[in-house]
Amino acid sequence: MKYGIIIHGGAWDIPDELVDNHLNGINNALELGYSLLEDNSNAIDIAEKVIVLLENDPTFDAGKGSFLNALGNVEMDAIIATDNYKIGSVAALNNYPNPIKIARAIYDFDGSVMLVGEGAKIFAEQFGFQQCKIEDLLVGRELKRYLKLKNDNSFVPKDAFKQKTRGTVGTVVLDKRGRIAVAVSTGGTPKKPPGRVGDTPLFGAGAYVEKNKLGVAATGYGEDLIKVLISRRVLDFYDRGYNPLESTEQAISFLSKSVKGLGGVITLGKEGLGLAFNTPRMAFGVQTDEIKSFIGINQKDREAVPYTHLT
Ligand code: GLY
C-alpha cells in the first residue's frame, strides 16, 4: 500500500436505528480524508480534519454528542500523534467544540505531551480557543440518558458497552510520503466519575504509531484498554511476525481473555491494514490506493474487507 486511511466510529452495541447515521458519518469522514490524501496533504492535517468532522457530527460520542459524566458535565479526551514520537494529548477537557484541535496545538507547541482539566483550559485560552456552552455539545439524547442514569445506582459505565449506544472516533492515515498519523477523540463513558480519564489520550492505549510500521487507534471500555495497552499491543504482535489483520485480532483476543475487556482497534501501514472488535458492532471505513471505499459496521463487514496482504 502506498497511501490510505482507516476510520472507526466506536465499538459498542450500536442500535439498528443508528446504523445509517454511523455509516453516513463514516462515509463523510472517509470522503474528506481520502480526497485530502489524493491532494498530497500531510497525514497529521488529514487526521485532524477527519476527527473535527466526526466531533461535529452528533452521532458519535466525541465533541458534540458526548456522554455526560456523573455530575452532568461534558469532559472530553483526545490525542493526535505521528510516527516520529511526536504527541499532543488532552484529557478531562470541559466544553470545547473540538478537543482534537487543542491536542494538535499541544503537538505543535512541542512542550508537554499531555495537558488535563484546568491546565488544558489555560493552554487553550492562551492559544485562542474559545470555550463553548455545554448546550452547544449536549444533544437531547444524552440529556435523557443522564436523567435516566442519574439515580440508577446499579449502573456502572462498563454496562454501557453492552447497551444500545455508540462511541469514540479514531483514524489512522498513511500519506503519499509514507508518514503515519493517528488521532482519536471521545466524550468517554456515560456517568463516568468527574476527572476520569480513559484510554483515548494515553499513547499506547488509545493510539500508537511507529515509523515504517503501523498506526493504531482504539475504541471501547477505556479502563480495560489501558490495562492491556491495547494499541501498543497490536505492534507487539506485528513485531512478532503477525500481519496487520492478525495483529488486531490477537490484541482483541488478549483483551477478551485477560481482562474480559470490550472494544475494537483499527490499524494501517505500508504492509496493510487490520481491524477487529469484540463488541456486537463497530462502525468503520477504509480506503487506500489499492482498496476502494469500504464502509461497514458488523463482523461480517469486517470479514468482507479486501485485505491487501491476503492477495
Ligand atoms: N474509549 C473511550 C473511553 O473509555 O473513554
Most ligand 1 atoms within 8 A of CB, residue of 51, 61, 189, 202 to mutate: 189
Among candidate residues 82, 168, 248, 288, the one labeled active-site is 168
Q: Which three cell numbers stand for residue 14?
A: 450500536
Look at residue 161 and tell me whether its pLDDT is greater than 60.
Answer: no
Place of cell 468517554: 188
Ligand 1: which residue has its CA nearest to atom 5? 188
CB 91 within 8 A of CB 114: yes
Q: Per residue in 238-252, pLDDT tens?
A: 999 999 999 999 999
Q: Per residue in 20-44, pLDDT tens?
A: 999 999 999 999 999 999 999 999 9
Q: Which three cell numbers stand for residue 32?
A: 474528506
Ligand 1: which residue has its CA nearest to atom 4? 222
Short-list 10, 42, 39, CA closest to 23: 10
In this structure, of 9-13, 83-87, 282-286, the range with the lowest mean pLDDT score is 9-13
pTM over 0.85: yes
Q: Are strands 114-116 and 86-94 parallel, antiparallel or unpaired?
A: parallel
Instruction: Quote the CA–CA distance of 11 and 101 in Å, as a whole number.
Output: 23
* Residue 77 Cα: closest atom of ligand 1: 5
Instruction: Quote the CA–CA distance of 161 and 230 in Å, as a whole number.
Output: 17
Mean pLDDT, range 160-171, rounded to an integer? 73
Look at residue 308 and tell me whether its pLDDT is greater than 80.
Answer: no
* Residue 222 Cα: closest atom of ligand 1: 4
In this prediction, residue 44 carries a pLDDT of 98
Mean confidence (pLDDT) of the chain: 93
Q: Per residue in 186-195, pLDDT tens?
A: 999 988 999 9
Look at residue 73 and tell me whether its pLDDT is greater than 50.
Answer: yes
- 197 C-alpha to ligand 1 centroid (Å): 8
Decide if 168 is catalytic. Answer: yes
In sequence order, which ranges of the chain are alpha helices (DSSP H)? Answer: 16-38, 43-56, 99-109, 117-126, 134-137, 140-149, 222-227, 230-239, 244-259, 299-304
In this prediction, residue 198 carries a pLDDT of 96
Q: Per residue in 186-230, pLDDT tens?
A: 999 988 999 999 999 999 999 999 999 999 999 999 999 999 999
Measured CA distances, 161 to 10, 20, 190, 278 (Å): 10, 19, 10, 11
Most ligand 1 atoms within 8 A of CB, residue of 186, 196, 265 to mutate: 186
In this prediction, residue 194 carries a pLDDT of 95
Short-list 278, 170, 252, 260, CA closest to 219: 170
* Residue 192 Cα: closest atom of ligand 1: 5
Q: Which three cell numbers stand for residue 184?
A: 482519536
| pLDDT cut 70: percent of the chain above it | 93
Degrees, nearest 5: CA angle 33-34-35: 95
Binned at pLDDT 50, 70 and 90, residue 311 comes out as very low
Binned at pLDDT 50, 70 and 90, residue 135 comes out as confident
Most ligand 1 atoms within 8 A of CB, residue of 8, 156, 219, 255 to mutate: 219
In this prediction, residue 309 carries a pLDDT of 61
| pLDDT cut 90: percent of the chain above it | 82
In this prediction, residue 152 carries a pLDDT of 72
- 228 C-alpha to ligand 1 centroid (Å): 14
Give Cβ neighbours of residue 174 (< 8 Å, ≥ 6 apart).
Answer: 1, 3, 4, 5, 43, 180, 215, 268, 269, 270, 288
Look at residue 143 and tell me whether its pLDDT is greater than 80.
Answer: no
Look at residue 96 and tell me whether its pLDDT is greater than 50.
Answer: yes
Give Cβ neighbours of residue 111 (< 8 Å, ≥ 6 apart).
Answer: none
